[in-house]
Structure 1
């Protein structure tokens, strides 16, 4: 069991001297603030396209369910079934026995993993065609009952906390039946792909229609049926959303509402500083009274610099990034931490230069009594 847990955990490269790719983020191989949790919040709150990410994650979860089903089936066939009656088909039996390790977590990375997933899909198609799928699964599936009960409602987002969690389909206490695989495929179809569905994504018809036909007419439920849609969604996120996400999280540590708050606060503070400065100057008050102008001018410049650079220098130097309005998370990705440190120091230099210049100008300018 210990070796299984190790193989199921994503590998995070702490020495990565570059920004991560979208695939690394989706495979949970990155850390905050460029991890899957931050990307989910970005897609939901800023890009307004979280349905695309939810579709990709649901298809990845469907792949996980299929892997677990095949792994359980192979174990039960190899251990508990006589050699002469392993499956209803010699071909499906051969496909089942030839499958390698199915313990990897998340998307397939190597060509070997992708070939293995293709073989698994071929087995599931053969298995479904023989009508043997339900009989293979151990009786009393807990997963089937739970999925049937919630089939009419799309799952709520599982990204509701900084720790990304989902159904652990590789856990030994979960028993997966062929009905679970079918229900999972139909849920993806009815939630994202059918025209006028609740969370329909904008797939081209030449990708959408073959999937609908494959599931509803030919009865397919293997993961390969979603490959074209999954690739299209991945490319759309990589092209339209991911560059903005990296700019937002690797070159800044503030979310848009927080940036707007700092801009408004900075402008109000600057207006108050200018009003007080002109009043004190034209009343010819002593320079000692004008020292109080440091407060509004410093706060005003700081707010405007934070907005312009999308970075709060002091938060960045302390190692924090916002994931929501005034809600902070520790920065763990080493390369992003270095980038934000450099950007924070540059913003701090700009802030000190302009704050010092404006304060000196209005404090030391000669007074003039009207």
Structure 2
């Protein structure tokens, strides 16, 4: 007996199961259960891509905060030699020294609100992220640390959920094949120095885009969570990542409960997208009708068996298309090792366990 196939992951791990939502969001999976496929599913099937965009923007806000503190720590160490440090400089440098480990970590080490998936590291992760948020709150109050030559936060253009291109220009790019491809930038820090104003603008952009009533891409959250976030940003002046933790957890659980099971059924157990399913249903019904009609006509005309045997072809096409529609699976595509991203666009299946 051959050993069971082990599913390799981009970070060198292996699993003998289907991925979970955390692994998909962390870009640890391959096609057809990668983050880009999940984005298309949320956009075209669930019609709730705003929830996924909110998650991605909050994760990007966390990366922005880490980059800011990392650059701040570097500027303090460079501009303030040890012999010239005063009491305040020593205190600032000592505080910033605590961030060397968490700032070098990637978002893939975090759970819904940054919770580490490894139980032995959860307490350490919570401590470092809390220190990060605490420092940002203190730095916002003091208002004396800000690296120069910063770039302002860029506003992204958003399209409707049903548009052809996902509404995140920074999230996808044209791969040269006419189909947007996911940019794996989860581990890349911003290329330019980040100022405190950029963090503030990022937090306000998330608030005004997704959370406030009547926002451009408003998502449904419990009123208590909305009130806490609004008060923290608008009245308390906070912009640290902890502000969005409750909302991020709620969105993660909503996607995990309502969208992700259907995504696995469609992409891990099938290889056809919704528009293609409808097309196959129509073609299957037309083929079956043509097959029965032709068969009866040939019988009534008393044609020979050699002539009537050609009716096998429309029956074959009809059964093939109807079975593909029923089981969300094209057997020819499956044998060739391909899966549909969008109608007319197929990509090779790279996830070993799914293949």
Query: Per the shorter chain, which TM-score range?
Result: 0.7 to 0.9
The answer as to whether partners of 2:340 and 2:347 remain within 8 angstroms in 1 is: yes
Question: Which secondary structure state, in structure 2, belongs to the residue aligned with residue 336 of structure 1?
Answer: coil
Q: Find the counterpart in structure 1 of residue 69 from structure 2.
A: 70
Residues 78/10 of structure 1: CA separation in 2 closer, same or farther (3 Å cut) = farther
The partner residue of 1:242 within 251, 260, 272 is: 260
Question: Which secondary structure state, in structure 2, belongs to the residue aligned with residue 46 of structure 1?
Answer: helix
Mapping 1:185-264, distance limit 5 Å = 185-264=203-282
Question: Which secondary structure state, in structure 2, belongs to the residue aligned with residue 67 of structure 1?
Answer: helix
In the alignment of these two chains, the number of paired residues is: 319
Alpha-carbon distance in structure 2 between the residues aligned to 1:308 and 1:167: 37
The partner residue of 2:139 within 124, 127, 133 is: 127
Q: What's the CA shift string for 1:263-288, capped at 9, x where partnerless?
A: 11011011101001001112211001
Structure 1 residues not aligned, in runs of 5+: 1-8, 338-370
TM-score by length of 2: 0.84
Q: Does 1:297 align with 2:298?
A: no
The answer as to whether partners of 1:88 and 1:130 remain within 8 angstroms in 2 is: no
Question: Which secondary structure state, in structure 2, belongs to the residue aligned with residue 322 of structure 1?
Answer: strand
Structure whose alpha-carbon radius of gyration is higher: 1
Q: Does 1:18 align with 2:37?
A: no
Q: Does 1:104 align with 2:105?
A: yes
Q: Find the counterpart in structure 1 of residue 351 from structure 2.
A: 333
The structural deviation recorded for 1:114 is 3.5
TM-score by length of 1: 0.81
Q: What's the CA shift string for 1:260-314, capped at 9, x where partnerless?
A: 1111101101110100100111221100111211211111110011001100001
Q: What's the CA shift string for 1:54-96, capped at 9, x where partnerless?
A: 0000000000001111111111112222445579676654331
Residues 215/90 of structure 1: CA separation in 2 closer, same or farther (3 Å cut) = farther
Question: Which secondary structure state, in structure 1, belongs to the residue aligned with residue 194 of structure 2?
Answer: coil
Q: Find the counterpart in structure 1 of residue 41 from structure 2.
A: 42
Alpha-carbon distance in structure 2 between the residues aligned to 1:271 and 1:314: 23
Higher helix proportion (structure 1 or 2):
1
The structural deviation recorded for 1:154 is 5.6
Question: Which secondary structure state, in structure 2, belongs to the residue aligned with residue 20 of structure 1?
Answer: coil
Query: What RMSD, in angstroms, separates the aligned Cα atoms of the two structures?
Result: 2.2
Alpha-carbon distance in structure 1 between the residues aligned to 2:71 and 2:128: 16
Residues 10/290 of structure 1: CA separation in 2 closer, same or farther (3 Å cut) = closer
The answer as to whether partners of 1:89 and 1:130 remain within 8 angstroms in 2 is: no
The structure, 1 or 2, with the larger RCO (C-alpha pairs under 8 Å, 6+ apart) is 2
Q: Does 1:159 align with 2:172?
A: yes
Structure 2 residues not aligned, in runs of 5+: 1-8, 111-115, 160-166, 174-179
The structural deviation recorded for 1:137 is 2.8
